[in-house]
Amino acid sequence: MQERVDDARSKLAETRSEQKGRTATIKQIEERQSRIETPASGQKYLDDTLVQIKAKLDADASKEQEIQVTLTDAEEQLKIEQAKLGGLQDQLDRLEKSLESFNGSK
């Protein structure tokens, strides 16, 4: 279960890193577009590229939400499993003490 949580955290960090990179690229393209010396063909290329990157950024946002849900679910499941393990450990400890006292009374 811990592996599932770690995997989701890793994917979330990766997605956020990609979003940061795309946001920086969008900013660079928008700065280039604002320059008057860029020819019309260059502007068209920048426009098309910008549309593509923004679409990927939107997809990343959706992906991030999905991963966040997965992470939350995995963390909740991990807590449940850890609580079960703790309960089993307590039972084992009680049984060991009972066995020790039983063997000690002989």
Dihedrals phi, psi of 18, to nearest 5 degrees: -65, -40
Write out pLDDT tens, residues 27-83. 998 888 777 676 777 788 888 999 999 999 999 999 999 999 999 999 999 999 999
Do the Cβ atoms of 68 and 34 come closer than 8 Å?
no
Q: Is residue 1's pLDDT more than 90?
A: no
| Helix segments in 35-104, DSSP class H | 40-104
Q: What angle do CA 69, 62, 14 make, to 5 degrees?
A: 75
Quote the pTM value: 0.69
Residue 36: what pLDDT? 66
Residue 106: what pLDDT? 61
